[in-house]
């Protein structure tokens, strides 16, 4: 069994418990009564104009690193992210491996005026309705965890609810599947979720396979501004950053630094050479 398989088994168990507590009809009603979603595609698409967007993550722990930060007040952290210029706030809601919760999502949604990503392992439409009911504007769809039929159905539901999905890939075949499904936002995770190994070069290898007009996100492996610059050089419009922010004493300044580093590279690539 891979790490991803183990995580998904736990997600399904926890999901079954939530279903018993709150039936799908009730979740649907709450989702349809929620405020209109914010446009994450527009927020992230700003990166296609030469700027680098940062998705800043509220993340307490991870399977690869264990505990990262206590984050007693996720709303306050999200507000600092917003102050630093984050384009989207990502909130881990998986509890067993990442220490997250839907309560964290609620707190962040109430604290910021930015699009909010519910970052979890989506394996059932219930979770998408649930995300919308809790105010999320974006969900994560991991290609490795879904069949083509599930991916297509989940993308359709996400669109019907006025939301967007970040469709996460790690291999060329997964990129192909994401593109075939019509993904407008594609993430390339340089961490292999089956083994937790990181290979940053995976991003540049895969980014060129993603069609123009798609928002391309580099996920995982950001340690400092030089990593952001490398991802920008490889074609990233945005980076998703968790550990480097939650462990930093001034996450707002770090986001600003990352945005500048990526934007400088992107703008240099867009500037014609003179000779």
Catalytic residue set:
57, 59, 119, 168, 189, 219-220
> Which of 74, 77, 134 minimizes the C-alpha distance to 106?
134
Q: Give buried/exposed letters for 19-36 (b at 16+ CB in 10 A, else e).
A: eeeeeeeebbebbeebee
Q: What secondary structure letter does DSSP report for 191?
A: B
The H helix count followed by the E strand count for the chain is 12, 10
Other CB atoms within 10 Å distance of the CB of residue 182: 13
Side-chain-side CA neighbours of residue 146 (13 Å): 24
The tokens for 175 are 């990129």
Distances in Å between the alpha carbon of 134 and those of 74, 101, 104, 114, 273?
15, 11, 10, 14, 48
3-state secondary structure of 107: helix
Non-local CB neighbours of 159 within 8 Å, separated by 6+ positions:
none
Supply φ then ψ for residue 214, to 5 degrees.
-95, 140
Q: Residue with structure tokens 């979720």?
A: 193
């Amino acid at each position: 069994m891979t790490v991803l398989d183990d995580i998904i088994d736990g997600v399904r168990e926890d999901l079954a418990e939530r279903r018993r507590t709150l039936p799908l009809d009730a979740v649907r009603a709450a989702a349809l009564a929620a405020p209109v979603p914010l446009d994450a595609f527009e927020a992230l698409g700003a990166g296609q104009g030469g700027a680098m967007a940062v998705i800043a993550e509220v993340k307490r722990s991870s399977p690869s690193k264990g505990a990262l930060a206590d984050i007693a007040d996720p709303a306050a952290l999200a507000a600092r992210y917003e102050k630093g210029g984050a384009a989207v706030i990502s909130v881990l809601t998986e509890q067993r491996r990442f220490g997250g919760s839907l309560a964290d999502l609620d707190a962040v949604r109430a604290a910021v005026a930015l699009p909010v990503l519910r970052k979890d392992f989506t394996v059932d439409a219930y979770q998408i309705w649930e995300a919308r009911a809790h105010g999320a504007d974006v969900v994560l769809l991991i290609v490795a965890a879904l069949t083509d039929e599930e991916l297509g159905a989940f993308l359709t539901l996400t669109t019907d609810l006025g939301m967007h999905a970040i469709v996460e890939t790690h291999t060329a075949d997964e990129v192909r599947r994401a593109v075939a499904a019509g993904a407008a936002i594609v993430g390339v995770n340089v961490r292999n979720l089956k083994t937790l190994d990181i290979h940053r070069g995976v991003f540049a290898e895969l980014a060129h396979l993603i069609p123009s007009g798609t928002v391309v996100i580099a996920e995982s492996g950001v340690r400092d501004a030089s990593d952001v610059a490398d991802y920008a050089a490889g074609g990233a419009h945005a980076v998703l950053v968790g550990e480097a922010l939650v462990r930093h004493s001034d996450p707002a300044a770090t986001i600003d630094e990352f945005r500048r580093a990526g934007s400088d590279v992107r703008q240099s690539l867009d500037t014609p050479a003179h000779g």
